[in-house]
Chain A
Amino acid sequence: MKNFDFKETFLNPIFKGNPISVLVLGICSSLAVTVELKGACVMGLSVMIVTAMSSLICSLLRNTIPNRIRIIVQLVVVALMVILVDQVLKAYAYSVSKTLSVYIGLIITNCIVMGRIEAYALGNKPFASFMDGLGNGVGYALILIIVAFFRELLGSGTLFGFDVLNRFGYVPNGLMILPPMALILLGCIIWVQRSIQKDLQEK
C-alpha cells in the first residue's frame, strides 16, 4: 500500500464494499437496534469509534504482536474500546446507554470490527487502517440509519421521537417494529444496491 488512496479507502466500505449489504457482517445488531433512529445513530457512532480506534491501535501494534496470540490481542483491544465507549455513554448519555446496554457489549463480537482488523489493519499502516475502520463504521451506521428511518416512520409514525405521520391519521404498523421487518428491509437495500452495482450480481 505505497500509494495510499485516502478517498478510496474511506469511501469504498461506505457503498461499494459496505460491511452489511455486501460483506453481510454485523446483521445481528442491525436487526436489534433499528427500531428507533436515536438508538441506531448512537449505535452507529459507537461502532464507528470502536472500529476506527481498534483498527488504529492494532495497526500500530501490528509488527509487535506475536502471531500465535494475535486474535486474543485483537479481542483485548476491541474489548477495551467497547468498555470505554460503554463507560462514556453511562456517564454522558444514560438513557441511551440503558436502551443499548446489551448491544454495546455485543460490539465486541461484531464481526465487522474483528474482520477489518484481521483483514486490513494487520497488514496496513496506522492511518490507512484508521480510515478503513472509520469507513466501515460509517457504512454500518448508514445502513442502520436507513433501516431505522423506515422502521420508526412506519412502525411508530415518528422520527427521533417526534410525531410525523400520526397527525395525519396514520395507524402505526406493528409489524415494522418486529425484527423480521428489519431483515426484509435489509433485503430490499441489498436488492437496490445490487441492481445499481451490476458487478455484485451472481450469475
Chain B
Amino acid sequence: MNTNSNTYTVIYSTILVVVVAAVLAFAATALKGKQEENVKVDTISQILTAAGLEYNEGDVLQVYKENIKEAILVNAEGQEVGTLNTEAIESLQVYGNSELKAQMAADQKSLPVYIFNNGVTVVPCYGAGLWGPIWGYIGVQGDLTITKATFGHKGETPGLGAKITDMPEVFADKFTGKTITAEILVAKNVTGANDVNAISGATITSTAAGVMVNQWLGFYKGYFGEAQPCCADCQECCEACCAETEQCTKDCCAAEEVAVEVSNN
C-alpha cells in the first residue's frame, strides 16, 4: 500500500484523531468522580486554612465537619437564600471554582458563606490573574477584620506570581488585620493602614488578587453589613458598636465627642 498518497494520509489522520479522542473521552469520564472528590477536598482544605484551623492530609473532611457551624448561601443583599450540606461527610457541599465563576456573572447571586465554631466566617473569591484564574478564601471575624487570607492559582509564574500561594508570608499573610469595610489597596510601595504591598516581580498577579478581594468583599457587603452607615459622622468610635449591634445608638459617639471637647479645653 502506498502510505504516501493523499487519500491515505487524510484517512489515516482522521482515524487516528477519532481513536485518540475516544480514548481520552473514556479516561476523562472514568476518572471524573475521583478527580472531583480530590478537588472538593482541596477546596475544603483551603477553607480550613482561611479559618485558621489545623488539619492533616487525611482528615480534612473530618476537621471541617467538626468545626463548621453552618454553611449558607446569601444573595447580594445579604439575605439567606439556601444552605450547603455540612451534616454527612460523604455529601459535604462546597462551592468550587466553576460555581464561583458562575456567580460572578449571575444577576441573582447565591454566594457561599462558611461559618465556623471559632467565630471566623470564611468567604471565597475568584478572579483573573496574569495567566489564568486565581482564587482565594478570606477568614473574617466579628469586628470585620480579616483573620487570614489564602490564595490559589491555576498557572501563575512559578517563583513570581505563584508566591501568592507558595509563600504566604510575603503576600497572603499581610491581609491579616485589614478591615473589610474599606477598600484594600494592593500596589507597589504602599504604606497605608489598609494597604498591602504587591509582590515585587509579580505586580499584575498581586494587583489582580487585590481587585478580586475587593470585588468579592463588595458582593458580601450586604451580608457583613457596613460599619459606616449606622453612624456616618463618627466612624472612628463606632467601629466597635457597629459590629455588636445593627443600629448605632449614638451614645458612644456622644460620649466620645464630649471627651474630645473636654480634652481640648
A: residues with CB less than 8 A from B are 32, 63-69, 72-73, 76-77, 80, 83-84, 87-88, 90-92, 94-95, 98, 101-102
The A contact surface, by secondary structure, is helix
Q: B residues near A, CB below 8 A?
A: 3-4, 8-9, 12-13, 16-17, 20, 23-24, 27-28, 31, 34-35, 38-39, 41-42, 57, 155, 158
In contact, B27 and A87 (Cβ under 8 angstroms): yes
A77 to B34, CA, bound (A): 25
Q: Which of A65, A94, A95 has the most CB of B within 10 A?
A: A94
How many A-B contacts at CB < 8 Å in the complex? 59
Residues of B within 8 A of A88 (CB): 27, 31
By Cβ-Cβ distance, the 8 closest A-B pairs, closest first, are A94-B38, A91-B34, A91-B31, A66-B9, A90-B35, A91-B35, A66-B3, A80-B20
- Inter-chain contact B24/A80, CB cutoff 8 Å: yes
Q: How would you classify the secondary structure of chain B's contact residues: helix, strand, loop or mixed?
A: helix
CB pair B3 A64 closer than 8 Å: yes
**Bound-state Cα–Cα, A87 to B27, Å:** 7
Q: In the complex, A76→B17 CA distance in Å?
A: 8
Looking at the complex, which one of B8, B20, B35 makes contact with A76 (CB distance below 8 Å)? B20
Excluding A32-B158, A83-B27, A101-B155, 8 further A-B contacts by CB distance (< 8 Å) are A66-B9, A66-B13, A67-B4, A68-B4, A73-B13, A80-B24, A88-B27, A88-B31
Chain B residue nearest to A93 (CB atoms) is B38
- How many Å lie between the Cα of A76 and that of B38 in the bound state? 28
| Contact present for B24 and A84 (CB under 8 Å) | yes
Known A87-B35, A102-B158; judge A80-B4 contact (CB<8 A). Answer: no
Can you list 6 A-B pairs, Cβ within 8 angstroms, ordered by A?
A64-B12, A84-B27, A87-B27, A91-B31, A91-B35, A92-B34
